[in-house]
């Protein structure tokens, strides 16, 4: 199914998004009020149960099919010396994903998610954003479309990425979306040294000078400052919204992928939970700017969807309490006074 045949349909999909199912939400809220616990005592687990009910359109939501999808892309800006690793690692990690040996493989198995891996033209890096747009219009549309097409029928979608150098375009997207300069959004990524951090900040600042005035809508911002796996994540998250599939956002790059979309259409995050706050310094600032409260803080700084896979366990626990607890009437426990 072609969801974004052209730029106009992508922008139309972003500016006219479906809402959750109000009836299922009301029924789930009603059920929560009857469960044998003081109202609100399960804190955010209660919110998660309502969130899942609203998006799945069922009063008692389920978590049978969890899909993790990892998009991979390469970046022209890596030539500026902005990562601690060479670009070949992207394709090598895709092979590792295929053989089941990466962190996301282990974490997907641990949380019961099926894993899809989607490499995007790895032999053709994006344009170096310090001097040219990352992608042509056709390339950006193809990446958005690849993201949308990868979304299966799932109860919950986890979105992750692999792309050496991609914390640099991610920082540029954040600066363009929420203001500030390289120094406000650049971190150490894979563990680059101080000189590398200085090169990253300079690269982000150069990209903002080169493209800032032309970032007139979320498509142009993604096309100029993003990358293939970054646009694919945005496409997958928007496509999930149209299919009312709730999403667990992963780390800094995943959240940066939707930053330009969220500025244009703040309701985009309504079907998303922030799984975790990563150790990449700007992730906390980005979550705050998008009004998201992370479920976990485990000092991860990996990406791949690793934090999202961990947070599945919390969603599972929320749905277990919602589905399995007795009501006051069933357990013959006295109602609140
Ligand atoms: C072996 C390896 C596995 C990874 N898995 C995720 N990333 C993470 O690191 C990269 C971003 O950091 P930077 O901008 O510094 O390159 C992305 O590929 C991200 O997914 C990895 C990085 C490496 C080296
Ligand atoms: O927050 C992330 O997802 C992240 C941070 C550093 C490197 N790769 C990913």
ipTM above 0.85, yes or no: yes
Helix (H, G, I), strand (E, B) or coil at 187: coil
| Distance (Å, whole) CA 265 – CA 176 | 15
Helix, strand, coil percentages in the chain from 3-state DSSP, rounded to 5: 55, 10, 35
Helix (H, G, I), strand (E, B) or coil at 273: strand
83: Cβ below 6 Å to ligand 1?
A: yes
- Atom of ligand 1 at shortest distance to CA of 90? 18
23: its two tokens: 């009836």
| Distance (Å, whole) CA 76 – CA 165 | 8
Does residue 15 contact residue 312 with C-beta atoms inside 8 Å?
Answer: no
Domains (range + CATH), the chain: 60-322 (3.40.50.10210)
Helix (H, G, I), strand (E, B) or coil at 151: coil
**Within 13 Å and on the Cβ side, how many CA atoms surround 294?**
25
Ligand 1 centroid from CA 306, angstroms: 12
44 CB-near residues (< 8 Å, 6+ apart): 295, 318
Question: Mean pLDDT of residues grouped by 10 in the chain (337 residues)?
Answer: 85 97 98 97 98 98 98 98 98 98 98 98 98 98 98 97 99 98 98 98 98 98 98 98 98 99 98 98 98 98 98 98 98 94
Ligand 2 centroid from CA 5, angstroms: 30
Pocket of ligand 2 (CB under 6 A): 167, 189-190, 250-253, 278, 280, 283, 301-303
| pTM greater than 0.90 (yes/no) | yes
73: Cβ below 6 Å to ligand 1?
A: no
């Amino acid at each position: 199914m072609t969801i974004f045949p052209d730029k106009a349909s992508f922008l139309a999909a972003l500016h006219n998004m479906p809402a959750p199912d109000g009836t299922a939400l009301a029924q789930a809220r009603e059920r929560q009020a009857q469960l044998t616990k003081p109202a609100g005592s399960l804190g955010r687990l209660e919110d998660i149960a309502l969130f899942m009910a609203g998006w799945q359109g069922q009063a008692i939501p389920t978590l049978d099919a969890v899909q993790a999808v990892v998009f991979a892309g390469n970046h022209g800006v890596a030539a500026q010396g902005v990562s601690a690793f060479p670009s070949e690692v992207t394709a090598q990690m895709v092979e590792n994903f295929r053989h089941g040996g990466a962190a996301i493989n282990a974490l997907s198995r641990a949380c019961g998610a099926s894993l899809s891996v989607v490499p995007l033209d790895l032999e053709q890096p994006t344009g170096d954003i310090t001097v040219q747009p990352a992608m042509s219009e056709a390339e950006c549309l193809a990446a958005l479309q690849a993201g949308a097409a990868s979304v299966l029928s799932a109860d919950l979608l986890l979105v992750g990425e692999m792309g050496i150098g991609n914390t640099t375009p991610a920082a540029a997207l954040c600066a363009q979306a929420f203001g500030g300069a390289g120094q406000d959004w650049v971190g150490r990524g894979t563990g680059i040294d101080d000189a590398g951090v200085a090169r990253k900040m300079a690269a982000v600042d150069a990209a903002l000078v080169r493209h800032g005035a032309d970032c007139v809508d979320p498509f142009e911002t993604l096309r100029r400052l993003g990358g293939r796996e970054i646009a694919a994540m945005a496409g997958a998250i928007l496509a999930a919204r149209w299919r009312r599939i709730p999403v667990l956002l992963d780390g800094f790059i995943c959240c940066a992928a939707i930053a330009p979309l969220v500025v244009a259409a703040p309701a985009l995050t309504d079907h998303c939970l922030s799984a975790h706050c990563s150790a990449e310094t700007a992730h906390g600032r980005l979550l705050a700017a998008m009004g998201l409260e992370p479920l976990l803080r485990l000092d991860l700084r990996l990406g791949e969807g690793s934090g999202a896979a961990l947070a599945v366990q919390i969603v599972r626990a929320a749905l277990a309490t919602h589905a399995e607890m007795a009501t006051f009437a069933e357990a013959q426990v006295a109602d609140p006074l």
